[in-house]
């Protein structure tokens, strides 16, 4: 279907050497996009790129720290001038730190702010400056079910993901008039390295299966359809939207 065809488009996915980021990179490649993988670990990035290339994807690697504004600008501007346009940006880089709010370490709180929200600003701004000049672009920020809901032990993470949702709306408000579509995907509970401790906890998994109408953990591949939709011409008039892919957890008590 041509509406969802990404042939000729290039997508940068931050934090894409594993987990959700890697799954989205693979899915966008299968939809026809050229892929730019990003992370801080060059070896992990190279291994991920090798896997995608064996599957027939056209892949570049761009090593930078998404929390460092100067490094982001240098990497993005350099890539745009030496390789070509970034048509799609998926701001996926993120981290988690769990603990009771009354004892939550201040340094861990700062790391969450930098990794989960400042990186969205840094990379989003750097890429958008080029997109604005071309009058087109797709920005997809990875939010969370915690954009709308809270759970004990992760209040700072919840704060950062709430901020991602509102920054997405702000991006759309500022940049839609320049031809950009800025939206977010909010995953529910997915079996990823970030959630490994929860997946391994039978008590938590049992609670989650009862709490989620779909009755199970999500599979990272189930995020691909939403990402392809928001990356493609099919979403040409969708802007500032947070799309929950959560098995119904935000729809029910």
Residues ≥6 apart with Cβ < 8 Å to 13: 21, 24, 25, 28, 35, 36, 37, 38, 90, 92
Q: Is residue 183 part of a domain?
A: yes
151 C-beta neighbours (distance < 10 Å), count: 13
CB burial of residue 177 (10 Å; 0-12, 13-18, 19+): exposed
User: Which strands sit side by side in the sheet containing 59-63, from one edge to the other?
Assistant: 59-63, 34-39, 10-13, 88-91, 137-142, 180-187, 242-245
Residue 192: per-residue pLDDT: 87
Catalytic one of 79, 109, 121, 157: 157
Paired with 138 in beta bridges are: 88, 181
Q: Is residue 252 part of a domain?
A: no
User: Given this model, what pLDDT does residue 38 score?
Assistant: 98
Query: Alpha-carbon torsion 135, 85, 58, 48, what sign?
Result: negative
Residue 173 lies in a domain: yes
Confidence (pLDDT) at 172: 98
CA angle 110, 196, 26 (to 5 degrees): 90
Q: pLDDT tens digits, residue range 30-61? A: 999 999 999 999 999 999 999 999 999 999 99
Here the CATH number for the domain that contains residue 164 is: 3.40.50.720
Residue 244 annotated in active site: no
The answer as to whether 253 is a domain residue is no
Query: Is the separation of the CB atoms in 183 and 145 below 8 Å?
Result: no
Asked whether residue 201 is domain-assigned, the answer is: no
Would 209 be classed as within a structural domain? no
**Domains in the chain: how many in total?**
1
Tell me the per-residue pLDDT of 103-143, one tens digit each, with 9 for 90 and over: 999 999 999 999 999 999 999 999 999 999 999 999 999 99
In which domain, by residue range, is 131 found?
Answer: 2-192+221-243
pTM for the complete prediction? 0.97
Cβ atoms < 10 Å from Cβ of 7 = 9
Q: Which residues of the chain have pLDDT under 50?
A: none
Task: State phi, psi for 246 to the nearest 5 degrees.
Answer: -140, 15
Model pLDDT, residue 194: 78
Say what angle helices 42-54 and 19-30 make with each other, to 10 degrees: 30
Flag whether 204 is in a domain: no
Asked if the structure places residue 188 within a domain, the reply is yes
């Amino acid at each position: 279907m041509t509406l969802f065809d990404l042939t000729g488009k290039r997508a940068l996915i931050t934090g894409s050497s594993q987990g959700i980021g890697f799954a989205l990179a693979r899915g966008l490649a299968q939809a026809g996009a050229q892929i730019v993988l990003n992370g801080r670990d060059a070896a992990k990035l190279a291994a991920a790129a090798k896997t995608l290339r064996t599957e027939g994807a056209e892949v570049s690697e761009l090593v930078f720290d998404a929390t460092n504004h100067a490094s982001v600008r240098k990497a993005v501007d350099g890539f745009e001038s030496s390789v070509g346009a970034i048509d799609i940006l998926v701001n996926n880089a993120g981290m988690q730190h769990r603990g009771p709010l009354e004892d939550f370490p201040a340094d861990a709180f700062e790391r969450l702010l930098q990794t989960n929200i400042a990186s969205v600003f840094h990379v989003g701004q750097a890429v958008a400056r080029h997109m604005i000049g071309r009058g087109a672009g797709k920005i997809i920020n990875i939010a969370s079910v915690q954009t709308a809901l809270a759970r004990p032990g992760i209040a700072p993470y919840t704060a950062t993901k709430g901020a991602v949702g509102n920054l997405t709306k702000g991006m759309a408000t500022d940049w839609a008039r320049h031809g950009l579509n800025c939206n977010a995907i909010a995953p529910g509970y997915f079996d990823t390295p970030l959630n490994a401790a929860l997946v391994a906890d039978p008590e938590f998994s049992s609670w989650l299966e009862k709490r989620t109408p779909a009755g199970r953990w999500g599979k990272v591949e189930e995020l691909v359809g939403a990402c392809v939709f928001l990356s493609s011409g099919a979403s040409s008039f969708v802007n500032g939207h947070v799309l929950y892919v959560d098995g119904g957890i935000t729809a029910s008590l």
